Structure formats: C-alpha cells, structure tokens
Amino acid sequence: ELGLSPVRFAEVTVAASSPTGVLEAGTVHVVTFRGKRGGVIPTGKAWVSDPIDMKVHRFENLAISVYYPSGATPAGQLKHVWVSPPGNHVTQVVWPQGSRPQAPELANGVEVSTAKPRPVLVAFGDSITKGFCSTPGMHLGYPEQLARLLAAQSADRRWVIINS
C-alpha cells in the first residue's frame, strides 16, 4: 500500500515460532492468494490471502515468511525481520545464517476466527502502539501487556486485543 511500485512475491508461508524466530516443525502452512502461491501486488493496493486452516493459540508467535524472487523488498513500516541469504527458504524450519535488520513488513495483520463471539478492545496509536523499540519477539508493547493482564483477570471472558 505504501510503495511506489508493484511488489512481486513468489511464495509466502506462516508458521508458529519461538520468540527468537525459530519455526516450530509441523506448523508451516503455505499461504495462497486467489489460489496461487505468488503474485504481484499492484501499487497502492492491499491484498488479503485465502483462508488458512491453522490452529492458533493465545499469545503464540507467528512467523510470516515471504520470498521475493527479484531480491527487492517492499517499501513500508520498519519492523524486526529476518533476512536470509539469496534463495527461497520460506518452507524451511531452520533458516541459513542471515541478518536481523529493521526492514519493511509485507503483512499488516493476521485475522483469526473464533468459535464464539469475543469482546474486542482496539489499541489505536503510532509506532509505540506497534511495539517499536520493544525487544523483538517478546511482545512487551502496551497492547500485549494489556492482553496478558485481561487474560489473567477474567478466565470466563476472553478478550480480543486488536493493535491498530
């Protein structure tokens, strides 16, 4: 949405991961878009993936891996990401040695369905609300801390915290 040119990607996966980014074996799911593994996101547009049948647990870390065949990454907000050496590594549980710079994110959110309706609290804000300057993978931003506080205080009422 924020770039000045289309974004071409060849493959995307999502998996459960540790706070340090190590993927959990058996949880890697291929993400498709209109039935295809890759595509081109037009300039200024947002894309939503096809639904994925994946069980997600409360406070679980998810890793979204994207392979850009041209090596270029999209413009966007800065986030902590893992940049691998050249090649498609999105289905690998253990990645080859790479770097962990601040770089643009392609995914802006993950939508999760529940079996029954839940009360929702939306946290509006800027980079601090998104967890900028927080320890990567530790979820120490105030929306995450609020979610843990609410979870500890109300066992019968499961809140959904949306970080906008």
Confidence of residue 101 (pLDDT cuts 50, 70, 90): very low
Supply the pLDDT for residue 58: 82
In 3D space, the residue among 74, 50, 67 whose CA is nearest the CA of residue 9 turns out to be: 67
Let me know if residue 130 belongs to a domain: yes
Q: Are residues 27 and 96 in the same domain?
A: yes
pTM of the model: 0.74
Is 85 within the bounds of a domain? yes
Beta pairing class for 39-41 and 29-31: unpaired
CB 128 within 8 A of CB 163: no
With a CB cutoff of 8 Å and minimum separation 6, the contacts of 51 are none
Mean pLDDT of the chain: 79
Domain that holds residue 15: 1-110
Q: What is the DSSP secondary structure assignment for residue 53, as one 8-state letter? A: -
Residues 70 and 101 grouped into a single domain: yes
The pLDDT tens digits of the residues spanning 29-61 come to 999 999 999 999 898 888 899 999 999 988 888
Domain assignment present for residue 115? The answer is no
